[in-house]
Amino acid sequence: QKEVEQDPGPLSVPEGAIVSLNCTYSNSAFQYFMWYRQYSRKGPELLMYTYSSGNKEDGRFTAQVDKSSKYISLFIRDSQPSDSATYLCLSGGSYIPTFGRGTSLIVHP
Amino acid sequence: NAGVTQTPKFQVLKTGQSMTLQCAQDMNHNSMYWYRQDPGMGLRLIYYSASEGTTDKGEVPNGYNVSRLNKREFSLRLESAAPSQTSVYFCASSGLAGGVDTQYFGPGTRLTVL
């Protein structure tokens, strides 16, 4: 079992929908949490990060961490076709950062 | 400022052939990484280098070797390629950005082993 679990999808939603992407992790030593976005045939790029439990907002994106349940979420409001990509969560700390498998998101017009 | 560059972009090998994937970064980062990405498996760490002169195994190191040539360059070598090594290979480097250790990825190398 990987230290960071993520449903690979695909997740298909209509334009304008609210999207929820989720990961769970098992290592209590993880201290920070990130979301990377990867477009087809490209390398991943950092989208958001957070250190603590709670919410962090950036435009249409909200990252949420619940350390008590070891649960990481990314919410996308008013989703757009340009949000279609694979979203990877990453957990890090004193260990080498660990990626989830990634969730493929498709936003159709 | 090119970030992380990788060569080649595409490669086709026959079983048993060898090759080296090259990676360079111009961000003065200490840490560098090699990942492979396969459908449904996500990014799996092959090797990493926390600083110039050091390398360590990741999750899937078998069949690979690495060299941290200097602070900028980190190469990945397949000594005897196997079809199971068909994958997309990503190099990354990491450094502090706004107080957060952030990984920056190259564009990837698509390798097919026949």
Confidence of residue A14 (pLDDT cuts 50, 70, 90): very high
Averaged pLDDT, B58-83: 96
For an interface test with A, the pick among B37, B51, B109 (most A C-beta atoms closer than 10 Å) comes out as B37
How confident is the model over B3-62, as pLDDT tens digits?
999 999 999 999 999 999 999 999 999 999 999 999 878 899 999 999 998 999 998 999
- Chain A residue closest in CA terms to B88: A41
- Chain B residue closest in CA terms to A100: B42
- A34: which chain B residues are within 8 Å (Cβ-Cβ)? 100, 102
A43 to B101: CB separation less than 8 angstroms, yes or no:
no
pLDDT at A32: 84
* Residue A34 forms contact with B (CB below 8 Å): yes
B108 to A43: CB separation less than 8 angstroms, yes or no:
yes
* Residue A10 forms contact with B (CB below 8 Å): no
- A-B Cβ pairs (cutoff 8 Å, strict): 48
* Residue A45 forms contact with B (CB below 8 Å): yes
- A6: which chain B residues are within 8 Å (Cβ-Cβ)? 42
In contact, B66 and B47? CB cutoff 8 Å: yes
Q: Name every residue whose Cβ is closer than 8 Å to that of residue A18 and which is 6 or more positions away in sequence.
A: A75, A76, A77, A78, A79
- A51: which chain B residues are within 8 Å (Cβ-Cβ)? 100
- The minimum CA-CA distance between A82 and chain B, rounded to whole Å, is 19
**Which tokens sit at A100?**
């989830």
State how beta strands B42-49 and B31-38 pair.
Answer: antiparallel
pLDDT at B39: 84
For an interface test with A, the pick among B103, B104, B109 (most A C-beta atoms closer than 10 Å) comes out as B103
Q: Phi, psi at residue B63, to the nearest 5°?
A: 95, 0
State yes or no: pLDDT of A1 exceeds 70: no
pLDDT at B21: 98
Q: Name every residue whose Cβ is closer than 8 Å to that of residue A10 and which is 6 or more positions away in sequence.
A: A103, A104, A105, A106
How confident is the model over A74-101, as pLDDT tens digits?
999 999 999 999 999 998 875 677 899 9
pLDDT at A94: 58
- Chain A residue closest in CA terms to B36: A43
pLDDT at A8: 86
Confidence of residue A34 (pLDDT cuts 50, 70, 90): very high
| DSSP calls for B6-70 | EE-SEEEE-TT--EEEEEEESS--SEEEEEEEETTTEEEEEEEESSTT--EE-S--TT-EEEE-S
- B97: which chain A residues are within 8 Å (Cβ-Cβ)? 46
